[in-house]
Chain A
Amino acid sequence: MERIKPHLPWITLVALIAVVGIANPAFLSPASFIVLTADVVPLFVMALGMTFAVYIGGIDLSVQQLANLVTVIATVYLMDFGIGVAVLCIFAGAGFGALSGFVTSRLYVPSFVSTLAMGFVALSAARWLSGQRALHMDAEQRDASFGWMFENTAGIPNELIIAGVLLAVCWFLQTRTTFGRSLKAVGAGELAAVASGINVDRVKILAFALSGALAAISGLVFSVKLSGGDANLANGFLLLAIVAVLVGGTPLTGGVGGVVNTAIGTLIVMVIRVAMVYLEVDATQQQMVFGIVLIVAIALTIDRSKLKIVK
C-alpha cells in the first residue's frame, strides 16, 4: 500500500478513462482526445503556476484575476506590439505575482490573503484598462501574431506543444535546480531551510512570480483563443485550477507532489467533465455530479501519510 500511494493519481486517471471508455467507446478515439486536451491548455497552464505556490505550502488565489487582466492587456496592446505583447503580459503577471510574494514573505500576510488582495487589485486594473467593456481583437492582427498557436505540428496542436514545453521547463526547474530544491525545503520545513542559510524570502517571491507568469500565459492563450479580452473572461478558472493541483496529489501542506502531478490532475478534471457529456448526464446535474466525483477522487488519491492531523 505504501509503495503505490504516490502512483494513485495516475492510476485513478487511467481507471477513469477506462470506465468512461467502456461505457462509451467513442471517448477513446485519439483524435477527439487530443482536441479535448488542447481545450484545457489554459486551465493546465494556470494550474501549473498554482503548483509552485502550493508546493511551498501557500496558495495563489490571484491567478484568475491575473489571467483576466492579461486578456485585457493582450487585446488592448496587440495592435501596438504584435507578438511582443506576450512579453508584456508575462511581465505583468510575474510582477503581480512577485508583489504577492513580497507581501507574503516580507509583510507576514498569509498568501491566502495576500493573493486574494492582489487579485482584487488586478481586477481593478483590468476593469480600468478595459473601460469595463468586453473587448475584441483585430482578427487579422491576431492571426498574424498568434495564428500559429492553433496550427498543428505533426498532427499535434501547437497549443498542446506549448503546454508540453512549459511542463518540461517547470519539471526541470522543480527537480534539477537549486531553486526547485529550495522550493521543496521551504514547503516541507521552512524553519530548517532558514537555518540552512537559504534565502527563503527570495524563494517565495520567485515562486509566486512564477505562478503569476504562468497565469499570464494562461490568460494570453485563452484570450487569443476567444479573440478578445474582458475583466471577467477567465472567471471560473480559479477553483478548477486548485482542484487540478490537489487532485493531482500536491497537498496544501507543501513539499510533496509537483508539476507532473498537476498535469495528471488537470487530465482527471478534464476526463470527469468530458465524461459527463459522453455519458449524457443532464446539464443541470453536471455540477453536482462533478462535486461528488471530485470527493471520491480526492478521497482515493490523497496521500494521508504526510498529514499528521487533518485540518
Chain B
Amino acid sequence: MRGHLTRETLLKWAPLFVLGVLLLAFPVFEMTNAWAKGKDHIYLLDSRFLSIRNFARIAIAAAPALMVAIGVTFIIIMGSIDLSMEGTVSVTAVVFAYAFIAMGATLASWAWLALPLALVVGAAVGLMTGLVHVKLKIPSFMASLAMGFVGTGFALLLTGGDRVRVEDPLFRSLLTERWLNFPIMIYVAGAFLLIAWFIQTRTTLGRNFYAVGGGEELAIASGLNVNKVRILGFTLAGICYGMGGLLAVGKIGIAETVTGANFMFVSITAVVVGGTALWGGIGGVFNTLTGVLIVFVINNGMVVIGLPSYIQSAVLGILVIAAVILSTDRKSVSFVK
C-alpha cells in the first residue's frame, strides 16, 4: 500500500517536477556556456534566464494562453474536447475592440462596459457550442471544430480582415503598469486562476465536471442532469476564452481575426502536459498552470540560451511526449489510442 501511495504521489507531482527541472536546466546550461567561454566568474545571479525581468516576460507570454487553457481544462475533465477556442478568442477580442472604441475608447468612460461584454460574448459562443454539442448530439470534437470555423468566420465578417487598434493608455496599463516588477495583467490572470480554482473545488458545477468525466452513464443514473453540466461547462469555457481574448488584446493592443490563432494547440498541449488526462475525470486548473508554464518556459529558455529557433518546436514536441509519459500511470490504463 505504501508503494502504491508513493507512486500516486509521484504521478501527482510529476508535472511540477518537470517544471522544476526546466527551471534548473536552463541556468545550468547558461553557466556551462559561460564556463566554456572561459569567463572567470560564474554567478547564478548573472543568469539571464533566472531574472525577474525574464520571468515577467514568461508570465506575460503565458497569461492569455493560461486563460484559454483553464477553459479547456474544464472541458477535458468532463472527458470532452473543445477546439473552438481560436474562433472564440478572435470573436471576443474583435467585439471587445469595436465596442470599446464605439463607447468612448477609454476605460475612464462607459467603454469599460466592453470588458464584461467580451465575457458575455465568450459565454454566448460557448453556450452555442454546448447547445450544438448536446442538443444536436454531435460529439464535442466535431461540434467545437465547426463552431471554431463559425467563430473565426464571424470575426472575419466583423473586421473584414482589418486590424483594430486599442490604444487607450488606461487599458494598455494592463501591460505597461507594473506592480512588483510584474504587469497588472499577471495579477488579473492570477485572480482569474483563483476564481477558476474556486469553481473547480467549491461549487457543485465544478465537482460535477469530475462526475461526468469519471462516469457519465453512472452520473445520469444518479439523477445528475449531465446535459446541463455539459452546456454550462462549455459556457464557462467560453468565458475563459473571452478572458483570454481580453488579455491577448491587452498584451499587443490589437484585435484581429487571427488574434486567436495558435491558441488551440498551445492550450491543449499545456493541459495535457500538466497532467489532466484526455479521457477525463482527473486533473485541474493548477495542473494546467504548471502545464502552461512548462510550455512557455521551454519557449523562453531556448531563446535565452540561444538555441536556433528552428529547434524549439522539436524540443517542445519531445518534452510534451516525455511529460505525458512521466505523468501516465501505465497500470491504470488498459489501452491508449
Query: A residues within 8 Å of B by Cβ?
Result: 56-58, 61, 103-105, 107-114, 116-121, 123-125, 127-128, 132, 190-191, 194, 200, 204, 239, 242-243, 246, 251-252, 254, 284-292, 294-295, 298-299, 302, 304, 307-311
Contact = CB atoms under 8 A, between A and B. Distances in A.
B278 A288 contact: no
A123 B146 contact: no
B36 interface: no
Interface string B320-337: 110011001010011111
A310 B139 contact: yes
B317 A124 contact: yes
Contacts of B314: 120-121, 123-125
A309 B337 CA distance: 18
A18 B226 CA distance: 39
A76 B217 CA distance: 54
Interface of B: 78-80, 87, 132-134, 136-143, 145-154, 156-157, 160-161, 216-217, 265, 268-269, 272, 278-280, 308-318, 320-321, 324-325, 328, 330, 333-337
Point out which of B132, B148, B156, B336 has the most chain A C-beta atoms below 10 A from its C-beta. B336
Nearest to B149: A291
A128 B314 CA distance: 11
Point out which of B87, B134, B157, B313 has the most chain A C-beta atoms below 10 A from its C-beta. B313
A115 to B, nearest CB: 10
Given A254-B337, A288-B157, 8 more contacts: A117-B316, A121-B314, A121-B317, A123-B313, A242-B145, A298-B142, A309-B216, A310-B133
Given A113-B321, A117-B321, A310-B138, A295 B132 contact: yes
A87 to B, nearest CB: 24
B228 to A, nearest CB: 14
B171 to A, nearest CB: 27
A56 B308 CA distance: 37
A112 B278 contact: yes
B335 A191 contact: yes
Contact of B146 (A127, A190, A295, A304): A295
A119 B137 CA distance: 31
Contact of A285 (B78, B149, B153, B330): B153
A119 B317 contact: yes
A120 B336 contact: no
Contact of B337 (A57, A294, A302): A57
Contacts, number: 169
Nearest to B227: A310
A23 B156 CA distance: 26
A187 to B, nearest CB: 8
Contact of A243 (B137, B138, B145, B335): B145
A109 B321 contact: yes
B82 to A, nearest CB: 11
Nearest to B320: A117
A116 B265 contact: yes
A124 B313 contact: yes
A108 B313 contact: no
Given A120-B320, A254-B337, A307-B139, A113 B149 contact: no
Contact of A56 (B78, B134, B318, B337): B337
Contacts of A311: 78-80, 139-140, 216, 280
Point out which of B148, B317, B318, B324 has the most chain A C-beta atoms below 10 A from its C-beta. B317
Contacts of B87: 291
B149 A109 contact: no
Given A108-B330, A285-B157, A295 B321 contact: no
Contacts of A254: 337
A288 B320 contact: no
A288 B147 contact: no
Contacts of A307: 137, 139
18 contacts: A58-B337, A61-B265, A103-B321, A107-B325, A110-B272, A110-B336, A110-B337, A116-B269, A117-B320, A118-B317, A121-B318, A124-B310, A191-B335, A204-B337, A239-B148, A284-B156, A288-B156, A307-B137
A295 B156 contact: no
A68 to B, nearest CB: 11
A252 B141 contact: yes
B87 to A, nearest CB: 8
B334 to A, nearest CB: 6
Nearest to B219: A309
Contacts of A113: 269, 272, 278, 320-321, 324
Contacts of A239: 145, 148-149
The 10 closest A-B pairs by CB, nearest first: A288-B153, A120-B317, A291-B149, A287-B153, A124-B314, A291-B150, A127-B310, A117-B317, A120-B313, A294-B146
A76 B139 CA distance: 42
A191 B334 CA distance: 8
A89 B138 CA distance: 37
Contacts of B151: 291
Point out which of A56, A113, A304 has the most chain B C-beta atoms below 10 A from its C-beta. A113
Given A109-B324, A239-B145, A298 B310 contact: no
A117 B318 contact: yes
B210 to A, nearest CB: 15
B149 A294 contact: yes
A108 B310 contact: no
A116 B328 CA distance: 17
A295 B138 contact: yes
A55 to B, nearest CB: 11
B314 to A, nearest CB: 3
Nearest to A57: B337
Contacts of A299: 132, 136, 138
A289 B153 CA distance: 8
